[in-house]
């Protein structure tokens, strides 16, 4: 290829001298023996050698294409086998739970009073925490299975039929939980329940709207050390479909962030003496705020972030808190506690800090779903998105899992893609009618969409780049991943 581009790869039976000639779609500069200065007697030998070189190159290219193709085929097969393996595992678990359910049903039928005793409740809790998540269980100790189990008559107060996880504080043994989502294929059905709601909130593309109507998002973050994180969040918001993305960052980060992308509006104000007033001026124009990506832990920046959160709450806009913003919340939970449009997106480490700050006791790592729900309740039913192998989304009343297939690559910055996307989706969800979200908590719908999208981007980027996958590669997948998940 390089040789061709340089015009040095000769093709047979071409006569003109030193001119550009198109043959079979390829433009090749011909150099005759005269112009090359070589004796005409050597020409057949040279042509012969060139032909051999040409065919070797061609064969090498073919072999390399074949190798690449077979690599992707093998990778696809590997992923399919992995899917089958998981399915089989889930089916086995489901079967086991069904058997246990029958046992419990018969116990409950024989001795209904026993289910109300503290000992039984404790036993149920213990058993529940040792089981895989997703076991539907009611306070009566009866387990329910499958999608039909969480169908119920919708009252005006109740939220839509979706996988649920209710607390029943009346139990002496503490929290008895009702988990109405299930494992394996049933969990996928749970996903199927929420995915249409995400599709519903995606605004139509129409020539009737003006710039800004599909979302003006603000990111609070970016300091000397971290310039990538706010950029990832802000550009992801744009790629998901926001019209305008603002970054409010420290002065040292601003030029760097601007240089990554001319699409972003960058305000170098976060460490200025009048930072809060500077940012406040923009708040009326923003539909959502994402606080924390690349914020760092400088006291002054955290204080500014805190005051900006307070001002944003007064404007009733969704506030996504991620990364160092969560550090701030762990120090001063009241900054966001009880604000229903607040969404926390911790990874496991951040979650542990938050949990321990709220409960003043070590996290019980054996039951993430329960702990996440407890954290949400302690925060006043804020939506908590605990990221991990499965993403766990709860508003303290219900829990859903996002199990969209990702990959084994955990490159830094994926969380920023998630928080930026979530900002846009939260705006869309909160401006959609209750019909569109079937009265499911809009934060939860948005969170499910953002998690699914991030994981799909990760999967697609991994297919192309394997171990070399970076967040930049994932961002390039947003468009097609979004279309695949939400617009097909």
Ligand X SMILES: NC(=O)C1=CN([C@@H]2O[C@H](COP(=O)(O)OP(=O)(O)OC[C@H]3O[C@@H](n4cnc5c(N)ncnc54)[C@H](O)[C@@H]3O)[C@@H](O)[C@H]2O)[C@@H](O)CC1
Ligand Y SMILES: Nc1ncnc2c1ncn2[C@@H]1O[C@H](COP(=O)(O)OP(=O)(O)OP(=O)(O)O)[C@@H](O)[C@H]1O
CB of 388 to ligand Y, least distance (A): 5
163 is a contact residue toward ligand X (CB under 6 A): no
Residue nearer to ligand X on the CB measure, 49 or 468: 468
68 is a contact residue toward ligand Y (CB under 6 A): no
* CA distance readout (Å), 70 to 76, 78, 80, 184, 321: 10, 12, 15, 30, 43
389 is a contact residue toward ligand Y (CB under 6 A): yes
Among 413, 423, 442, 449, binds ligand Y (CB under 6 A): 413
418 is a contact residue toward ligand Y (CB under 6 A): yes
* Residue among 351, 348, 299, 349 at smallest CA distance from 328: 299
Number of residues interacting with ligand Y: please give it, by CB under 6 A.
17
Residues 132-161 that bind ligand Y (CB under 6 A): none
How many whole angstroms separate alpha carbon 234 and alpha carbon 286?
13
Instruction: Please check whether residue 163 is in contact with residue 181, taking contact to mean a CB–CB distance below 8 angstroms.
Output: yes
* Residue among 236, 451, 220 at smallest CA distance from 324: 220
CB of 443 to ligand Y, least distance (A): 16
Residues 5-44 that bind ligand X (CB under 6 A): none
Strands 265-267, 244-248: pairing kind: parallel
383 is a contact residue toward ligand Y (CB under 6 A): no
User: Judged by CB under 6 A, which stretch of 221-229, 273-281, 335-343, 444-452 contacts ligand X?
Assistant: 221-229
Sequence-ordered list of residues with C-beta below 8 angstroms from that of 205, at least 6 positions apart, any chain = none
- How big is the CA angle at 25 (ends 23 and 26), to the nearest 5 degrees? 70
218 is a contact residue toward ligand X (CB under 6 A): no
Q: Which does 113 bind (CB under 5 to 8 A by kind): ligand X, ligand Y, none?
A: none
Quick one: CA dihedral 71, 74, 78, 79, positive or negative?
A: positive
Residues 330-349 that bind ligand Y (CB under 6 A): 347
CB of 225 to ligand X, least distance (A): 7
What Rg do the C-alpha atoms of the chain give, in angstroms?
29
CB of 218 to ligand X, least distance (A): 16
3-state SS track over 100-162: HHHHHHHHHHHCHHHHHCHHHHHHHHHHHHHCCCCCCECCCCCECCHHHHCCCCCCCCCCCCC
455 is a contact residue toward ligand Y (CB under 6 A): yes
391 is a contact residue toward ligand Y (CB under 6 A): yes
* Burial class of residue 283 (count of CB atoms within 10 Å of its CB; 0-12, 13-18, 19+): middle
Residue nearer to ligand Y on the CB measure, 264 or 276: 264
CB of 333 to ligand X, least distance (A): 18
Among 121, 177, 279, 323, binds ligand Y (CB under 6 A): 323
CB of 250 to ligand X, least distance (A): 12
Helix (H, G, I), strand (E, B) or coil at 266: strand
CB of 204 to ligand X, least distance (A): 33
403 is a contact residue toward ligand Y (CB under 6 A): no
Q: Which does 268 bind (CB under 5 to 8 A by kind): ligand Y, ligand X, none?
A: none
Q: Which does 414 bind (CB under 5 to 8 A by kind): ligand X, ligand Y, none?
A: ligand Y
How many whole angstroms separate alpha carbon 127 and alpha carbon 100?
11
Q: Which does 455 bind (CB under 5 to 8 A by kind): ligand Y, ligand X, none?
A: ligand Y
Instruction: Please check whether residue 344 is in contact with residue 426, taking contact to mean a CB–CB distance below 8 angstroms.
Output: no
416 is a contact residue toward ligand X (CB under 6 A): yes
Instruction: Please check whether residue 137 is in contact with residue 179, taking contact to mean a CB–CB distance below 8 angstroms.
Output: yes
The neighbour count for residue 393, using CB atoms within 10 Å, is 30
CB of 340 to ligand X, least distance (A): 25
Residues lying near ligand X in the complex (CB under 6 A) are found at 226-229, 293-295, 323-324, 347-349, 412-413, 415-416
Which residues are part of a known binding site for (6S)-NADPHX? 294, 347-353, 416
Please give the annotated binding residues, written as ranges: 294, 347-353, 387-391, 406-416
Residues that bind ligand Y in the complex, under the rule CB under 6 A = 323, 347, 387-389, 391, 406, 410, 412-416, 418, 451, 454-455
């Amino acid at each position: 290829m390089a040789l061709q581009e340089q015009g040095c790869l000769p093709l047979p039976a071409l006569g003109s001298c030193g001119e550009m000639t198109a043959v079979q779609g390829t433009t090749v500069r011909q150099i005759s023996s005269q112009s090359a200065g070589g004796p005409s007697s050597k020409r057949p030998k040279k042509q012969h050698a060139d032909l051999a070189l040409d065919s070797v190159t061609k064969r090498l290219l073919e072999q390399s294409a074949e190798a690449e193709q077979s690599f992707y085929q093998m990778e696809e097969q590997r992923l399919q086998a992995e899917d089958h393996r998981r399915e089989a595992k889930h089916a086995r678990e489901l079967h086991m739970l069904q058997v246990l359910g029958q046992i419990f049903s018969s116990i409950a039928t024989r001795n209904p009073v026993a289910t109300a005793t503290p000992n039984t409740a404790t036993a149920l809790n213990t058993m529940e925490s040792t089981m895989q998540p997703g076991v539907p269980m009611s306070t009566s100790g009866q387990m329910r299975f499958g999608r039909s189990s969480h169908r119920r008559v919708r009252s005006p107060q109740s939220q839509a039929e979706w996988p649920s996880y209710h607390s029943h504080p009346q139990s002496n043994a503490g929290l008895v939980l009702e988990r109405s989502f299930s494992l394996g294929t049933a969990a996928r059905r749970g996903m199927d329940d929420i995915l249409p709601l995400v599709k519903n909130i995606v605004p139509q593309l129409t020539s009737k709207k003006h710039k800004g109507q599909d979302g003006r998002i603000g990111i609070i973050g970016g300091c000397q050390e971290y310039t990538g994180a706010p950029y990832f969040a802000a550009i992801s918001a744009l790629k998901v479909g926001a019209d305008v993305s603002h970054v409010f960052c420290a002065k040292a980060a601003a030029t760097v962030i601007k240089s990554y992308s001319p699409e972003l509006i960058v305000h170098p104000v976060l460490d200025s003496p009048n930072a809060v007033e500077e940012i406040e001026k923009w708040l009326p124009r923003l539909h959502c705020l994402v606080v924390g990506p690349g914020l760092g832990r400088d006291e002054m920046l955290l204080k500014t972030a805190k005051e900006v959160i307070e001002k944003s709450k007064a404007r009733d806009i969704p506030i996504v808190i991620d990364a160092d913003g969560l550090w701030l919340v762990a120090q001063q939970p009241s900054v966001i506690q009880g604000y229903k449009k607040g969404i926390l997106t911790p990874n496991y480490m951040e979650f542990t800090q938050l949990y321990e700050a709220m409960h003043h006791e070590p996290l019980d790592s054996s039951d993430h779903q329960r702990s996440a729900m407890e954290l949400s309740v302690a925060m006043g039913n804020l939506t908590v998105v605990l990221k991990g192998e499965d993403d766990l989304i709860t508003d303290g009343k219900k829990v859903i899992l996002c199990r969209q297939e990702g990959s084994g690559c955990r490159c830094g910055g994926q969380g920023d893609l998630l928080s930026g996307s979530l900002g846009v989706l939260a705006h869309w969800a909160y401006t959609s009618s209750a019909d569109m979200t079937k009265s499911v908590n809009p934060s939860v719908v948005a969170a499910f969409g953002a998690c699914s999208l991030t994981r799909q981007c990760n999967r697609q980027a991994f297919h192309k780049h394997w171990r070399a996958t970076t967040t930049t590669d994932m961002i390039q997948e947003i468009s097609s991943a979004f279309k695949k998940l939400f617009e097909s």
